[in-house]
Amino acid sequence: MSKTPAELFKVTPEEQRRAEKQIRQTQRDVEFNIRDFPIDYLVGKFREDLYYIPDYQREYVWRMSNRCAFIESLILGLPIPMMFFAEMDDGRFEIVDGAQRMYTLVSFMDDDLKLTGLDKIDTLNDFSYSDLPTPQQRKFSSRPLRIVILEERTTFDLRYELFKRINTRGEKARASEVRRGAYPGPFMDFLQRVSQDPLFLKLCPISEVMRRRREPTELVLRFFAYSDRYKRFRHAVGKFLDSFANEHQQGFDIERMEREFSNMLQFVGKHFPHGFAKGSNARSAPRVRFEAISVGVNLALREQPDLVPGSIKWLDSEEFDKHTTTHASNSRPRMRGRIEFVRDRLLEGARE
């Protein structure tokens, strides 16, 4: 008698035993306790660098409205989500989740943050911490916050996974911010260094907020990854870039990569009137446009190092605009299409 589809896909006792073993092992890897610390204690230990924010977390990117709403919630005595710290082998504590809240607490108690846009207690608008009535200052500084402390034996992988899973409040961390801490070492240091190239920052306008969120490093990583492996790309950009960054932790051709990046910038600066931007007044350069131009130029220069382009009127063409719109920008055909379009136009129009 043949088995039904449900019977064919039924979990076997052996599969259940393997799952039970894996669950128990992973549960043993996570040990924690919960403590309550007053705000002034947390801020003091942060100033002393006993509590610190790791590289895979973000810089201070909360909007003013987020900061002020958080302080207002504390003053009102509203429940605050728990923060997650991890005990390190040097005796310090890594802030796994709660960086933006910690930055905000420190800036408020240092009088660097003035409250604005408050709804419930609008009389406090334009107040800093020292402007609060003395009883309110005492209540604020002594207010306890609940902290989950991951014990020292918790691995980096689990701390990193925790950060990714619980970081859903406020403004989410971008992959570029998380990647910096996930793959530390010479390659990430190299990307960070070349992303500060003055010519790159001139040709590729990036807002201050996006600079703090590591957008320059993200663009440089995309340039190298697509230049070397764009034909291997499928559809998941994050996994593609993670794989490239991870493999280059073991070693990379720094001289070749730095030379290609510099030559590409010099070419764009000389022949593209607005660099990677759409116009002289553009405040940013879309990622897809940067990828198309930078990688396309690099591929063309690999074939003709002394390339002198003919007309580049195609930059303003409807076809190029179609290639660099955001629609389906992460599909394999679209990514290859925009890169090879630039490469081919440059080589076809090259002057003898």
Query: According to the model, what pLDDT value does residue 242 have?
Result: 87
Query: According to the model, what pLDDT value does residue 169 have?
Result: 46
Query: According to the model, what pLDDT value does residue 43 have?
Result: 93
Query: According to the model, what pLDDT value does residue 203 have?
Result: 94
Query: According to the model, what pLDDT value does residue 151 have?
Result: 75
Q: Which residues pair with 32 in a beta bridge?
A: 150
CA separation, residue 218 to residues 58, 141, 203, 283, 333 (Å): 14, 38, 16, 18, 21
* Rg for the chain, CA atoms, rounded: 26
pLDDT in tens, 117-167: 998 899 999 999 999 999 999 999 999 999 988 876 666 666 666 656 655
Which residues, other chains included, contact 253 with Cβ-Cβ below 8 Å and sequence gap of 6+? none
Query: According to the model, what pLDDT value does residue 175 have?
Result: 64
Q: b/e map of 178-216 (b: 16 or more CB within 10 Å)? A: bbbbbbeeebbebbeebbebeebeebbbbeeebeebbbb
Query: According to the model, what pLDDT value does residue 326 have?
Result: 56
CA separation, residue 263 to residues 1, 226, 289, 294, 340 (Å): 70, 16, 18, 10, 18
* Contact indicator for 100, 170 with CB cutoff of 8 Å: yes
Separation CA 175–CA 157 (nearest Å): 16
Backbone region of residue 190 per phi and psi (left: phi > 0; alpha: psi in -120 to 50; beta: other values):
alpha
Look up residue 177 and give its amino acid.
E
Question: Low-confidence residues of the chain, pLDDT below 70?
Answer: 1-9, 25-31, 55-60, 152-182, 326-330, 350-352
* Contact indicator for 283, 242 with CB cutoff of 8 Å: no
Domain borders along the chain are: 15-172, 182-348
Work out whether strand 83-87 and strand 144-150 pair parallel, antiparallel, or are unpaired: parallel
Query: According to the model, what pLDDT value does residue 228 have?
Result: 95
Query: According to the model, what pLDDT value does residue 170 have?
Result: 44
Query: According to the model, what pLDDT value does residue 180 have?
Result: 65
Q: If 0-12 CB within 10 Å is exposed, 13-18 middle and 19+ buried, where does residue 1 land?
A: exposed
What is the value of pTM for the model shown?
Answer: 0.56
